[in-house]
Amino acid sequence: MAPNAVALPPNVPECAPMRGRLLVVVARLLEVVVSEVRSKFARMTRDDRLLVMELLASGSSAEEAGRAVGCTGRSVHRLLVALGGVKARRRPRSSLRLSLEDREEIRVGLRGGESFARIARSIGRSASTVSREVNNNGGRRRYRAVASDGAAYRRALRPKPAKLAVNARLRERVEELLVERWSPQQISARLKVEFADDPRMQISHETIYQSLFVQARGALRKDLARCLRTGRTRRRSQGRVDRRGKIAEMVLISERPAEIEDRAVPGHWEGDLILGAHNRSAIVTLVERQTRYVLLAHIGTDKTSPAVCAAIADKILTLPEQLARSLTWDQGREMTGHAEFTIQTGLPVYFCDPHSPWQRGSNENTNGLLRQYFPKGTNLAVHDQAELDRVAIQLNGRPRQTLHWATPAEKLNELIAMTA
């Protein structure tokens, strides 16, 4: 039997000549194919193999690379298996980057005692580029061109491991603050304060978002995304048509004193309702404009004007007189009793223009933050006043960028101390 011949199975019955002849034909065909593939692969010289690997690395298919050297695509695949795959090619360097020749010129200039500016002129770069290159690679005395070039290439490799994936201490701190429902921006800013002298414990808010939303980075658990304010990874537009009627004797926001607009004087509040499923339940939200301090009031399913005004009055009357000066509301029907409310509390009520939520910017922002705790489409009546107070305490304990990363509670305590 020929060396490459395929033997017939020993159990072919002699009483089945047609079946036996069919097996013989198939075996001979396989023998021809195998011998052809082996001969094609064997005929590939070393130069052929190098050319094939070069073509594959440049993006050619196995069939195209095979045709270039006169073999089949299957032979190319066998070659790939034997060599462990295609090695990544070193991508051409951008002309904007320093080359090895540039770095050698820098080394020679440093050896000759030349200034950064003079070296930069000789290679057509800016002095700051040369200064940065030298200072990042050992300084004037220890600068080496080849070592610096290799380090620059390694730094440019992508993808890089996520900072949160390689720094367990930083990851634990970020997860701890996410569980406390801090936003990534708040976390990033507070870490810069807590670890001002340790760059390894600082991180940008964008990196935190990427680690949450791109799970391939393998840094933060996917379930922590639920701790974000929206609980979503995408923004979506929300449009509503206001069909509400007018409120009698409204005082519009355009008549509001200037001291309220510039937040120079504390005690001016913005208010609104956040609504539950099918608009059947609600929570009263109040925000002090200067300190962003939050008060929440339970009204359950009673959204009538007397219930809302009474809930607001109960909260406002607990404050010092200097911290209860005015209230700004939208044109919701829950404030139709604003005149009686003003008589009871002494707070004038100013109404925003229709479809102008930015006129209550602090309150709108706070309502968005509160959706972490009270998601849309849920029954808000199940949250009693004790739970609302707990949420308000946690929210007032978060640092705010607009307060230079102080907390609303700290700012309010400062005002109370000043008025005491």
What is the distance between the alpha carbons of residues 292 and 399, in angstroms, rounded to a whole number? 11
Residues 6+ positions from 78 with CB-CB distance below 8 Å: 37, 41
Check residue 158 and give its pLDDT.
67
- Do residues 119 and 192 share a domain? no
Q: Are residues 398 and 283 in the same domain?
A: yes
137, 156, 175: which is the final residue of a domain? Answer: 156
Domain membership flag for residue 273: yes
Parallel, antiparallel, or unpaired for β 294-298 and 282-288?
antiparallel
Among 51, 83, 115, identify where a domain stops: 83
- What is the distance between the alpha carbons of residues 112 and 91, in angstroms, rounded to a whole number? 33
- Tell me if 288 sits within 8 A of 414, measured CB to CB: no
Q: In this structure, are 380 and 274 located in the same domain?
A: yes
Nearest in space to 292 (alpha carbons), one of 405, 373, 193, 386? 405
248 located within any domain: no
pLDDT given at position 159:
65
Q: Read off the tokens for 41.
A: 């692969």
Q: Are the C-beta atoms of 156 and 168 separated by less than 8 Å?
A: no
Is 243 part of any domain? no
Contact 329, 305 (CB under 8 A): no
Q: Using an 8 Å Cβ cutoff, are 268 and 290 in contact?
A: yes
How many other CB atoms are found less than 10 A from the CB of residue 221?
Answer: 12
Same domain assignment for residues 400 and 266: yes
The kind and range of the H/E element at 405 are: none
- Contact yes or no for 361/261 (Cβ under 8 A): no
Q: Do 359 and 406 fall into the same domain?
A: yes
Q: Are residues 151 and 168 in the same domain?
A: no
Same domain, 257 and 385: yes
- For residue 406, the model assigns a pLDDT of 93
Give residue 123's identity as a one-letter amino acid code: I
In a domain, 94, yes or no: no
CB under 8 Å to 311, separation ≥6 — which residues? 284, 297, 298, 299
Q: What is the largest CA-CA distance in the chain?
A: 113
Number of compact structural domains in the chain:
4
Q: 346 CB contacts (<8 Å, ≥6 apart)?
A: 324
Which pLDDT value is given to residue 27?
Answer: 60
Residue position matching structure tokens 């907390």: 407
In a domain, 147, yes or no: yes
**76, 49 Cβ separation under 8 angstroms:** no
On whether both 51 and 186 belong to a single domain, the answer is no
Instruction: Give the torsion sign (CA, 198, 201, 204, 207).
Output: positive
Domain-embedded: residue 323: yes
Q: Are residues 305 and 198 in the same domain?
A: no
Helices 100-111 + 116-123 axis angle, to 10: 140
User: What CATH number is attached to the domain comprising 260?
Assistant: 3.30.420.10
For 326, phi then psi, to 5°, come to -160, 170
44 and 185 assigned to the same domain: no
Could you give the CA distance from residue 328 to residue 326 in angstroms, rounded to a whole number?
A: 7
Q: Residues 329, 333, 338, CA angle at the centre, nearest 5°?
A: 60
Determine, yes or no, domain membership for 21.
yes
135 part of a folded domain:
yes
Task: Give residue 370's pLDDT.
Answer: 94
282 and 148 housed in the same domain: no
pLDDT digits (tens, 9 = 90+) for 351-372: 988 888 888 989 999 999 999 9
* Region class of 138: left (phi > 0), else alpha (psi between -120 and 50), else beta: left
Range(s) of the domain holding residue 258: 253-419
Amino acid (one-letter) located at 312: I
Question: What gap in Å lies between CA 151 and CA 294, rounded to an integer?
Answer: 51
Token pair 């692969």 is at which residue? 41
Contact status, residue 379 vs residue 282, Cβ threshold 8 Å: no
Predicted pLDDT of residue 2: 47
Task: Return per-residue pLDDT of the chain as tens, 420 residues.
Answer: 444 444 444 544 454 555 556 656 556 655 555 455 444 445 678 778 878 877 887 778 888 888 888 888 888 888 776 665 665 555 667 778 898 889 999 999 999 999 999 999 999 999 999 999 999 999 999 999 888 988 888 888 766 777 888 888 998 898 889 888 888 899 999 999 999 999 999 999 888 887 776 544 455 666 676 677 666 554 344 444 444 557 888 888 888 888 888 888 899 999 999 999 999 999 999 999 999 999 999 999 999 999 999 999 999 888 888 889 999 999 888 999 999 999 988 899 999 888 888 889 899 999 999 999 999 999 999 999 999 999 999 999 999 998 999 999 999 998 888 876
Q: Same structural domain for residues 282 and 372?
A: yes
